[in-house]
């Protein structure tokens, strides 16, 4: 498409006036926002610092020297969390996709699997993750099965994967169900089988649609890998706990929290941006 | 002339609503059958039944003499011989124009990518859309989208093309570019069944016009007979209303 722009345009005096007004309005809004932020945050800071226990809290939670000392061990623990997140994430993606496809299929041969997939999702979406971690982490080794690893990192990962697969399967399924039936009708009328229709027409559109909620689940996954510490895995949370209980100084927890935030905040910002871009691409609501 | 499509006493209902009753139709090769009638008269349902997107409750449908209303039939194989164009285009938004057109030739008909692309580009050129091959459907006007949808259904060389109110979602200018594409197909000898509200267009392409009311063919015959000299009072009433709406 050739876009014809009239290059000889200069804004009218009325338009210049309007721009001036707009600038004035936005300056005013910015100063209100700044004043309100200073007031609210300043009040919070004053309440915190002037509280009777502040000196103790500063010494036991924000001891910078001790924080520096424990930093390497907590980072080492965080590496476990990251490994768990990425390896678990890959397994979750595959299992969740399988579950979502099973739950949306109409194939009679797969009826028992569809039933099982529904039961699976109901159970693992409904039970607290921490219970699943405890049951898998302590229950599976107790079975004494030969050939099944009793490595706590492995079992912890399995527990997280079991639960998150159920969450993610539901997200993918909702994406599949959100594709308009007319897309299926068009694909089927071209002679595509139901499998081909799913693979080439429905699924690509569905996955694109659920990318933002999937990223959201990914952030939650990273945080929830901290729960495997209850099995004795020395992840960031566990490493902080060991140090804290040794010295009764809780700075390691703060260090771990900051490290998690350093990863999750950029991820959530990115997710929000992805959602915003998606909505602005789909709706042309204008200035509202 | 052999019939490409034949419907014998087809009946279809959705719950208590009977949408098609004892409907019979013959579509000889290289002819165009135009279905007219008010909204809800069963035109779209009839097309969807032919395409096996809906199953019928009674009667028989034959495609090239083979009964396709048999539940044991291979539905995908039947649809490979049919093309369908929808009122709302139904292009795949995540695929480019070229990919939309070549999906079925490559995945269903087993053509090589080069062969499918060459054929698609040939068709795009013919319908003045060659420069749109790599665009996504959202970037096209409604008329262009509908012509792409027509090309998509043509790319598999169907025996029979079903067109379901293909211009209803378009403004009057865009209607013409789509109708002229359909007229081209007619002159190529494509066998077609069309549901339309464009009476002038019906007159131009129809070998037979069927007026449907409440799932019955109330009147059928040449465009001249049905549209310009209707015998049945219901047809007369319908055409009078169309005329008042300025569509004839």
> Nearest by CB to A189, which of B51, B77, B92?
B51
Chain A CB contacts of B140 below 8 Å: none
Q: At residue A287, does pLDDT exceed 50? A: no
Phi first, then psi, for residue A285 (nearest 5°) are: -80, -15
Selected residue with higher pLDDT from B85 and B1? B85
Which of B76, B78, B113 would you mutate first to test chain A, the one with the most A CBs within 10 A? Answer: B76
> Given a cut of 70, is residue B247 above it in pLDDT?
no
Residues from chain A contacting residue B91 (CB–CB below 8 Å): 186
Give the model's pLDDT for residue B248.
53
Q: Nearest by CB to B86, which of A182, A200, A204?
A: A182
Best B92, B135, B156, B159 residue to mutate vs chain A (most A CBs within 10 Å): B92
Is B126 a residue whose pLDDT tops 80? yes
Q: By 3-state DSSP, what share of chain B in percent is helix, strand and coil, each rounded to 5?
A: 40, 25, 35
B80 to A191: CB separation less than 8 angstroms, yes or no: yes
Mean pLDDT of B131-138: 92
Question: pLDDT class for A278, splitting at 50, 70, 90?
Answer: low
**Average pLDDT value for residue range B58-64:** 94
Interface test with B, best of A106, A184, A189 (most B CBs within 10 A): A189
Mean pLDDT for the stretch of residues A235-251: 89
Rounded to the nearest integer, the mean pLDDT of chain B is 91
What pLDDT is stored for residue A286 in this prediction?
A: 40
Percent residues over pLDDT 90 in chain A: 57
Query: What's the confidence (pLDDT) of residue A6?
Result: 57
In a domain, A108, yes or no: yes
Q: Does B110 contact chain A (CB < 8 Å)?
A: no
Compute the half-sphere exposure of residue A32: CA atoms within 13 Å on the CB side of its CA.
6
Average pLDDT of the residues in B26-38: 93
pLDDT of B242: 85
- Neighbouring CB atoms inside 10 A of A280's CB total 10
pLDDT tens digit string along B145-166? 999 999 999 999 999 999 999 8
Q: Which two tokens stand for residue B7?
A: 């419907």
Does residue A3 register a pLDDT over 60? no
ipTM tops the 0.85 cut:
yes
What value does the mean pLDDT take over residues B61-89? 93
Q: What is the pLDDT of residue A39?
A: 97
Is A137 within the bounds of a domain? yes
CA-CA distance, B32 to B206, in Å (whole number)? Answer: 5
Classify residue A210: in a domain, yes or no: yes
Q: What is the pLDDT of residue B162?
A: 95
Percent of chain A exceeding pLDDT 70 equals 94
Instruction: Kindly report, residue by residue over B173-215, the tens digit of the pLDDT.
Output: 888 888 998 999 999 999 999 998 888 888 888 999 999 998 8
Of A167-176, B2-11, B44-53, B198-207, give the lowest mean pLDDT range. Answer: B198-207
Q: Residue B40: which pLDDT band, with cuts at 50, 70 and 90?
A: confident
Per the CB < 8 Å rule, is B103 touching A192? yes
For residue A165, the domain's CATH number is 1.10.3720.10
Q: Is B147 on the interface with A (CB under 8 A)?
A: no
Instruction: Check residue B89 and give its pLDDT.
Output: 92
Is A52 part of any domain?
no
B73 touches chain A (CB under 8 A): no
Each residue of A211-226: pLDDT tens digit? 889 988 998 999 899 8
Which residues of chain A lie closer than 8 angstroms to B90, CB-CB? Answer: 182-183, 185-186
Cβ B205 vs Cβ B186: under 8 Å: yes
Contact B90 A185 (CB under 8 A): yes
pLDDT at A285 over 50: no
Per-residue pLDDT at A102? 94
Look at residue A280 in the predicted model and tell me its pLDDT.
Answer: 65
Using a CB-CB cut-off of 8 Å, the residues of chain B touching A186 are 84, 86, 90-92
Q: Which residue of A has its CA nearest to B152?
A: A190
Residue A39 lies in a domain: no
Query: Residue A1: pLDDT above 60?
Result: no
Give the separation between CA A55 and CA A216, rounded to whole angstroms. 37
> Treating both helix axes as pointing N-terminal to C-terminal, what angle do A211-224 and A152-177 enclose, rounded to 10 degrees?
160
Once rounded to an integer, what is the mean pLDDT over residues A49-55? Answer: 89
First to last CA, chain B: 31
Q: Is residue A286 assigned to a domain?
A: no
Instruction: Give B76→chain A minimum CA distance, Å.
Output: 5
Q: Total domain count for chain A?
A: 1
Residue keyed to tokens 């139709």: B25
How far apart (Å, rounded) are the C-alpha atoms in residues A255 and A55? 19
Mean pLDDT of B223-241: 90
Interface of B with A in 30-69 (CB under 8 A): 48, 51, 53
What is the per-residue pLDDT across B17-26, written as a single tens digit (0 to 9) for each? Answer: 889 999 999 9
- On chain A, the residues whose CB falls within 8 A of the CB of B51 are 189
Which residues in chain A (177-196) have CB-CB distances under 8 A to chain B?
182-183, 185-193, 196
The domain in which residue A123 lies consists of 63-278
């Amino acid at each position: 498409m050739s876009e014809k722009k009239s290059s000889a345009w200069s804004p009218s005096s009325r338009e210049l006036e309007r721009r001036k007004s707009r600038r004035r309005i936005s300056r005013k809004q910015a100063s209100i926002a700044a004043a309100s932020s200073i007031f609210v945050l300043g009040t919070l800071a004053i309440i915190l610092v002037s509280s009777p226990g502040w000196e103790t809290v500063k010494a036991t939670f924000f001891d910078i020297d001790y924080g520096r000392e424990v930093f390497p061990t907590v980072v080492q623990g965080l590496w476990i969390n990251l490994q768990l997140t990425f390896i678990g994430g890959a397994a979750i993606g595959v299992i969740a996709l399988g579950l979502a496809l099973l739950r949306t299929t109409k194939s009679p041969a797969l009826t028992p699997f569809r039933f099982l997939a529904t039961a699976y999702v109901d159970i693992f979406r409904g039970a607290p993750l921490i219970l699943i971690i405890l049951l898998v982490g302590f229950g599976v080794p107790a079975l004494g099965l030969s050939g099944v690893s009793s490595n706590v990192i492995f079992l912890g990962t399995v527990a997280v994967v079991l639960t998150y697969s159920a969450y993610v399967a539901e997200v993918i399924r909702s994406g599949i169900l959100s594709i308009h039936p007319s897309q299926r009708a068009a694909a089927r009328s071209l002679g595509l089988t139901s499998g081909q229709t799913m693979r080439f027409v429905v699924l690509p559109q569905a996955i694109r649609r659920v990318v933002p909620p999937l990223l959201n689940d990914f952030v939650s996954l990273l945080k929830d890998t901290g729960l495997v510490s209850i099995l004795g895995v020395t992840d960031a949370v566990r490493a902080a706990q060991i140090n804290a209980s040794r010295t009764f100084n809780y700075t390691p927890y703060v260090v771990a929290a900051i490290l998690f935030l350093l990863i999750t905040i950029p991820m959530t910002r990115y997710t929000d941006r992805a959602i915003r871009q998606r909505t602005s691409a789909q709706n042309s609501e204008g200035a509202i | 002339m052999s019939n490409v499509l034949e419907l014998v006493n087809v009946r279809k209902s959705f719950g208590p609503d009977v949408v098609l009753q004892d409907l019979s139709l013959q579509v000889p090769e290289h002819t165009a059958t135009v279905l007219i009638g008010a909204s809800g008269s069963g035109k779209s349902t009839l097309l969807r039944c032919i395409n096996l997107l809906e199953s019928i409750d009674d009667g028989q449908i034959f495609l090239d003499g083979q009964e396709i209303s048999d539940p044991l039939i291979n539905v995908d194989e039947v649809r490979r011989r049919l093309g369908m164009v929808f009122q709302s285009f139904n292009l795949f938004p995540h695929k480019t124009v070229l990919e939309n057109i070549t999906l079925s030739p490559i995945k269903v008909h087993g053509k090589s990518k080069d062969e499918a692309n060459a054929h698609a580009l040939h068709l795009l050129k013919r319908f003045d859309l060659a420069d749109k091959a790599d665009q996504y459907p959202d970037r096209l006007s409604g008329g262009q989208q509908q012509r792409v949808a027509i090309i998509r259904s043509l790319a598999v060389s169907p025996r029979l093309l079903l067109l379901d109110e293909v211009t209803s979602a378009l403004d009057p200018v865009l209607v013409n570019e789509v109708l002229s594409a359909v007229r081209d197909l007619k002159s190529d000898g494509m066998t077609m069944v069309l549901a339309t509200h464009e009476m002038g267009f019906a007159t131009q392409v129809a070998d037979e016009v069927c007026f449907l009311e409440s799932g019955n063919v109330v009147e059928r015959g040449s465009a001249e007979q049905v549209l310009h000299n209707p015998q049945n009072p219901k047809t007369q009433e319908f055409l009078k209303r169309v005329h008042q709406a300025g569509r004839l």
